[in-house]
C-alpha cells in the first residue's frame, strides 16, 4: 500500500553500516505565492571516516527571482554522534553547533538560528500536520531491503506552517503551505529529476510527486531510467509505480532545467511537462551532496517551475483532468555537472 498514516520517522544514519546520506526536509510556499522556502537537515556518514551534519535554509522570491541561502555544517565528533543517536527520531531532534547555531525539529515546531559569513538567519514555524504519507515505491519491502539504494518518503503531503523566517533584508511571516520529505541512501542516483506540487491552479487539493533516475550498476554501467509517479486528484490516488513498468515510462526530456515524461499504468496515462526556465530569469539554487563511497553530486532546484500534469484514460483517451501550476518544485542531477569548488553552494 503506497499511502499510509505515519509513525515517528526514524533516523537511518544510526544503523547504517556502509555509510549514508540522509535528509529531513521541509518545503513551503507563502499564501500570496511570492515566497518559497526549503529547510534541509542533513546527516552524512561516509563508509570510512567521520561524518557531518548540515542545516540549510533557502528562501526564494518569485517576483525578484532572487534567493537567499544560509547553511551551517560541522564534522561530527563522537560526542555529537551520541547526541544524534539519543534523538532516535527526526521529529525529536535538537542539535547545537560550535558557532552557536542550532536547529530543533519536533512534530509540531521547527526552530533554528544560523550564524554564518553571509549573516544570520532564524526561523520559528508552528506546523499543522495532515499526516498523509506517500511512499513512492509500491511495496513496503522496498523500504526494508538493500535495493533500491536510494529511498524517499513524502512524510506529509499537505502541511501548513505558521510563523516567521527572518534574515537581513528579508522578513517573512504568516501562513505557508507545503510538504515534508525524508530521503536516505548512499548518496544520490547517477542522474535524476524529481518534482512535486500541491499548488495547482485548477485544484488546490491535488498533489503530485514523481521522479526519473538512472542507477549505477557495478562501477562502470548505469541502468535505463527508472521512473515512478503518484497523483492525488478528487480525493483519489493514481499510482504509476509498478516495478516492472518503471523502466518503460517514456522520458522525453531530462536536463538541468526541464523534465518531460509520459507515465502509463493498466488503466491510465499521465503526461508530465515541467519547465524550470532560464536560471538567470528564475529563482534557482544549487548545492553539493556528499556520496558515502566518495565524491559529491551537484543538485539544482527551483520551487517555481511551470508544470502541466494531464491524466487520461488509456483505452478511450478520455481526458480525466489537466492541472497547471507556476509553483512546481523541480530538482535535477546530471552526471556531467562536476563540483567546481569545495563549498556547499554552487551557481545554478
pLDDT of residue 288: 95
Q: What is the pTM of this model?
A: 0.93
Half-sphere exposure in the Cβ direction for 123 (13 Å, CA): 31
pLDDT reported for residue 15: 64
Q: What is the pLDDT of residue 6?
A: 54
Output the pLDDT for position 3. 44
Q: Is residue 3 part of a domain?
A: no
Q: Is residue 5 part of a domain?
A: no
Q: Examine residue 148 and say whether the peptide bond preceding it is cis (omega within 30 degrees of 0).
A: yes
329 within some domain: yes
At residue 154, the 3 state secondary structure works out as strand
What pLDDT sits at residue 283? 96
- pLDDT of the residue at 4: 45
DSSP characters for 90-121? TTEEEEE-TTS-EEEEESSEEEEEEEETTEEE
| CB-CB neighbours of 95 under 10 Å | 21
User: Does 277 fall in a domain?
Assistant: yes
Which domain covers residue 135, as residue numbers?
10-346
Tell me, yes or no, whether 202 lies in a domain: yes
Successive 10-residue mean pLDDT values, the chain, 348 residues: 55 72 96 97 86 94 94 85 75 90 96 90 96 84 71 94 93 96 88 96 96 84 92 96 91 97 97 94 94 89 98 96 98 93 86
The pLDDT value recorded for residue 18 is 72
- Report yes or no on 1 lying in a domain: no
Domain annotation covers residue 4: no
- Tell me the CA distances in angstroms from 265 to 136, 140, 248, one per residue in order: 14, 20, 10
Question: Taking a C-beta distance cutoff of 8 angstroms, is the pair 172, 164 a contact?
Answer: yes
Domain count, the chain: 1
Taking the CA atoms of residue 335, residue 19, residue 226 and residue 302 in that order, the dihedral angle to the nearest 10 degrees is -60
Q: And the C-alpha cell for 106?
A: 519536533
The strand pairing partners of 301, in sequence order, are 285, 331
pLDDT at 5: 46
Domain harbouring 302, CATH code: 2.40.370.10
Tell me, yes or no, whether 2 lies in a domain: no
Amino acid at each position: 500500500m503506497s499511502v499510509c498514516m505515519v509513525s515517528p520517522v526514524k533516523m537511518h544514519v544510526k544503523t547504517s553500516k556502509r555509510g549514508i546520506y540522509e535528509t529531513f526536509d521541509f518545503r513551503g510556499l507563502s499564501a500570496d505565492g511570492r515566497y518559497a522556502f526549503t529547510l534541509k537537515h542533513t546527516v552524512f556518514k561516509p563508509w570510512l571516516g567521520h561524518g557531518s551534519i548540515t542545516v540549510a535554509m533557502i528562501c526564494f522570491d518569485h517576483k525578484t527571482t532572487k534567493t537567499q541561502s544560509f547553511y551551517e555544517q560541522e564534522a561530527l565528533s563522537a560526542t555529537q554522534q551520541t547526541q544524534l543517536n539519543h534523538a532516535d527520531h527526526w521529529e525529536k531532534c535538537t542539535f547545537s553547533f560550535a558557532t552557536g547555531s542550532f536547529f530543533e525539529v519536533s512534530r509540531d515546531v521547527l526552530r533554528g538560528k544560523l550564524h554564518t559569513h553571509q549573516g544570520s538567519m532564524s526561523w520559528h514555524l508552528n506546523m499543522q500536520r495532515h499526516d498523509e504519507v506517500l511512499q513512492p515505491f509500491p511495496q513496503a519491502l522496498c523500504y526494508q531491503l538493500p535495493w533500491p539504494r536510494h529511498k524517499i518518503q513524502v512524510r506529509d503531503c499537505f502541511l501548513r506552517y505558521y510563523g516567521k523566517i527572518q534574515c537581513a533584508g528579508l522578513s517573512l511571516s504568516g501562513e505557508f503551505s507545503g510538504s515534508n520529505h525524508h530521503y536516505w541512501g548512499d548518496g544520490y542516483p547517477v542522474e535524476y529529476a524529481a518534482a512535486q506540487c500541491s499548488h495547482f491552479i485548477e485544484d488546490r487539493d491535488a498533489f503530485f510527486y514523481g521522479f526519473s533516475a538512472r542507477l549505477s550498476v557495478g562501477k562502470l554501467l548505469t541502468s535505463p531510467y527508472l521512473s515512478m509517479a503518484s497523483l492525488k486528484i478528487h480525493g483519489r490516488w493514481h499510482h504509476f509505480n509498478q516495478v516492472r513498468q518503471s523502466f518503460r515510462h517514456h522520458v522525453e526530456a531530462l536536463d538541468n532545467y526541464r523534465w518531460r515524461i509520459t507515465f502509463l499504468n493498466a488503466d491510465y496515462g499521465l503526461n508530465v511537462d515541467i519547465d524550470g526556465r532560464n536560471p538567470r530569469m528564475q529563482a534557482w539554487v544549487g548545492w553539493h551532496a556528499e556520496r558515502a563511497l566518495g565524491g559529491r553530486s551537484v543538485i539544482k532546484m527551483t520551487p517555481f517551475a511551470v508544470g502541466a500534469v494531464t491524466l487520461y484514460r488509456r483505452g478511450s483517451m478520455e481526458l480525466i483532468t489537466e492541472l497547471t501550476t507556476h509553483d512546481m518544485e523541480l530538482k535535477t542531477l546530471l552526471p556531467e555537472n562536476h563540483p567546481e569548488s569545495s563549498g556547499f553552494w554552487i551557481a545554478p
